[in-house]
């Protein structure tokens, strides 16, 4: 089974994020869920984004990197939206990464290094009309990863929801979230 490090989105470590991690645990994986917000959970994404901006995105990334310290190098990094920042950085820069799952965000590969590591498989998931993922350049960054990585998949789901995989948020889309879960579990079984 895989060992997984899951980074939450801009609302914080919500019940939905904890539930996602628990689903992976029930499938037999070892899952770590660090809290990048130091216990804070925000009702609105705007409030969570304001907190992340005030803390500084470099600080949020550094908290993610610190969370990986002391864990085995052979991790699968999972990031949801804001959590993609530390997940992608670690997948690209920390030797031994087993894979990356980037949900609802992706940054340009040069942000964290010269290229996507040849031996690190990646799956990227997002909605095709999500104003953050589809209209702010993330989907273009995702397509660039897919074009250059040896083992990469991009899955686009119909809809305009952001954070559609978090059952505790109004933007939850059950059908799309179930597809994501199935694909994520398949990915983890393949890379373990």
Alpha carbons 51 and 24: distance in angstroms, whole number: 28
114 has pLDDT over 80 = no
Give pTM, 2 decimals: 0.96
Q: Note the CATH number of domain 3-191.
A: 3.40.50.1820
**Per-domain residue ranges of the chain:** 3-191
pLDDT classification of 21: cutoffs 50, 70, 90: very high
pLDDT tens digits along 127-157: 999 999 998 999 999 999 999 899 999 999 9
Token reading at 39: 């216990």
pLDDT tens digits along 26-45: 999 999 999 999 999 999 99
Alpha carbons 68 and 99: distance in angstroms, whole number: 14
Long-range contacts of 111-117 (CB under 8 A, 24+ apart): 112/88, 115/148, 116/92, 116/145, 116/148, 116/149, 116/152, 117/91, 117/92
């Amino acid at each position: 089974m895989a060992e997984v490090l899951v980074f939450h989105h801009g609302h914080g470590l919500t019940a939905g994020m904890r539930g996602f991690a628990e689903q992976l645990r029930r499938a037999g994986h070892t899952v770590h869920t660090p809290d990048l917000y130091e216990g804070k959970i925000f009702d609105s994404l705007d409030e969570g984004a304001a907190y992340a901006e005030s803390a500084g995105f470099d600080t949020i990334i550094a908290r993610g990197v610190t969370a990986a310290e002391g864990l085995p190098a052979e991790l699968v990094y999972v990031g949801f939206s804001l959590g993609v920042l530390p997940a992608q950085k670690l997948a690209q820069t920390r030797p031994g990464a087993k894979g990356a799952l980037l949900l609802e965000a992706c940054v340009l590969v040069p942000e964290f290094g010269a290229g996507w590591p040849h031996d690190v498989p990646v799956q990227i998931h997002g909605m095709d009309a999500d104003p953050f993922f589809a209209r702010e350049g993330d989907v273009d960054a995702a397509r660039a990863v897919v074009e250059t990585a040896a083992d990469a998949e991009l899955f686009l789901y119909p809809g305009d929801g952001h954070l559609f995989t978090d059952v505790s948020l109004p933007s939850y889309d059950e059908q799309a979230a179930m597809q994501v879960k199935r694909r994520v579990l398949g990915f983890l079984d393949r890379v373990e």
